[in-house]
Amino acid sequence: MKFIRNFMDKIEPDKKDSPFLHTLWDGFDTFLYVPAHVTKSGTHIKDGMDLKRTMIHVVLAMQLAFIIGMYNIGHQHYFALGLFPDFFAGFWEKLLYGVLQYLPMLIVVHVVGLGIEFIFATKKGHAIEEGFLVSAFLIPLVMPPAIPLWIVALATAFSVVIAKEAFGGTGMNIFNVALIARVFVFFAFPAEISGDEIWVSPDYSWLHQGFSGIASLFGSNDFFSMNAAAVAVDGYTGATPLSLAAKGGWENVQAYTVSIADQTYQPYSVSNLLLGNVPGSVGEGSKIAIILGALFLAVTRIGSWRIMLSMVLGAAFMSIVLNIISVQYGAELTNPFISVPWYYQFLMGSVFFAMAFMATDPVTASGTSTGKWVYGFLIGVVGIIIRVLNPAYPEGWMLAILLLNVFAPLIDHVVLQQNIKRRLRRVKV
């Protein structure tokens, strides 16, 4: 370790002569070592947890969802073709296919985002800010698997410049950076992030043609073959559970079946929804993996358990209210989504992913303990309202979190003012 420390000190570029190289060196140096800056007085407590290590904890928490999401890309592709219909069949084929589809997206986000970070850090004359470390993993996870890479690059650049650097950089943004990237795609390129056809990634037949022997390494000639849109099995539509529920309620989700080789499969059973064996954004699939990540964040105190729990309570509360309205007034006749039992709302879409990795962003969320309860609860309520009552967009967490990002300072202000008034009353007494 001393050798590495001496080596890093020896190659340190001059900050005035080479500001860009020094910024790059500083970013790598602080990744390896805790910054050496200390307070001049002895009144402050220091530990080894800086911003980089905080962000790394979040990245570690999402790794299981990240891996399962990549695998699911391959599974959805082959399932659409009628190949390897069982979830764990063709394991290596599906995993490598998912890596080939997902890895370029991850690389594009890092190159574009970190490139912009380096430029701004050099111009400002300060060290590289670590906040993008989490956003660089979250942006690909909230995108469809087949989205064009140039759109991902545009969305990343827009989110970093407009949602982050324009407000002063890490710790100053008022909106969640990863969600702004998704919002950009949603409004600028709606066809690339809406509908049923976008959740199955394209084929890699070109790779099979160029490297014909590669398939034999995995024991299958079906590894890089066929175009999903051209030869999808009969009855396969690519529809997500949310789109099916919006059209016909929970019964429509459970009634959806696909016949492959004289066998009938129910893609959206409860077990498949829990495992993540469903089409959707890359990271939203496995509810089990996401909950484990959320527990890790809560135990390490990186993510607020108050926000997580209150968001779940808010979503459950609003879903129960809508279920009551459905029973009392027969509202399911005009909107079948309103009759979906409240507990099944948690199995569909990205409610848990939004709860664990989006709503808990410490920069854009409420900071007071009471404010976190209010903030999370309102996200749950508003998210379900948008999901169920908005016919154009059968999901609501992106818009709900961004809306509450705006109101987070107001929530904290009201909480603080109420505390001040309460203490003043005690003083007068």
Question: Which residue do the tokens 């690389």 mark?
Answer: 107
Q: pLDDT category, 284, cuts 50, 70, 90?
A: confident
Give the C-alpha separation, 278 to 72, whole Å: 8
Q: pTM (2 decimals)? A: 0.85
Q: What is the pLDDT of residues 359-388, one digit of tens each?
A: 998 889 999 999 999 999 999 999 999 999
Residue with tokens 């699939």: 285
Torsion angles phi and psi, residue 396, rounded to 5: -140, 0
**Backbone φ, ψ for residue 334 (5° rounding):** -100, -25
Cα 239 to the center of its chain, rounded Å: 20
pLDDT in tens, 130-176: 667 788 889 999 998 888 899 999 999 999 999 888 887 777 888 99
Distance CA 393, CA 254 (A): 21
Angle at 367 between CA 363 and CA 373, to 5 degrees: 120
Which residues are within 8 A (CB) of 302 and not within 5 positions of it... i.e. 6 or more apart?
54, 57, 58, 61
| Residue 132 tokens, joined | 């993008």
Q: Minimal CA–CA distance to 231: which of 78, 360, 91, 107?
A: 78
Cβ-based burial of 396 (10 A; exposed 0-12, middle 13-18, buried ≥19): buried
Stretch 188-207: mean pLDDT, rounded?
Answer: 74
CA angle 153-184-120, nearest 5°?
Answer: 55
Q: By three-state DSSP, how is residue 189 classified?
A: coil
179 vs 357: CA distance, rounded Å: 11
Question: For residue 357, which of 44, 154, 136 has the smallest C-alpha distance?
Answer: 136
265 DSSP β-pair partners:
258
The distance of Cα 279 from the centroid of its chain, to the nearest Å, equals 15
298, amino acid identity: A
CA distance 283 to 386: 21
Among candidate residues 52, 55, 14, 47, the one with its CA nearest the CA of residue 32: 52
Q: Taking residues 78-99, what's their average pLDDT?
A: 85
Separation CA 224–CA 206 (nearest Å):
8
Token readout for 33 is: 């070592």
The token pair at 77 is 């592709």
User: How far is residue 122's CA from residue 128's CA, in Å, rounded to a whole number?
Assistant: 8
pLDDT digits (tens, 9 = 90+) for 18-34: 666 666 666 666 666 66
Across residues 255-260, what is the average pLDDT? 85
Give the residue from 56, 59, 76 showing the smallest Cα distance to 275: 76
Dump pLDDT digits (tens) for 296-338: 999 998 989 999 999 999 999 999 999 998 888 776 667 888 9
DSSP for 228-290 reads HHHHPPTT-----HHHHHHHHHHHHHHH--EEETTEEE-TT-HHHHHHT-S-SSTTSS-HHHH
Taking the C-alpha atoms of residue 313 and residue 373, their distance in angstroms, rounded to an integer, is: 10
Higher pLDDT, 238 or 213: 238
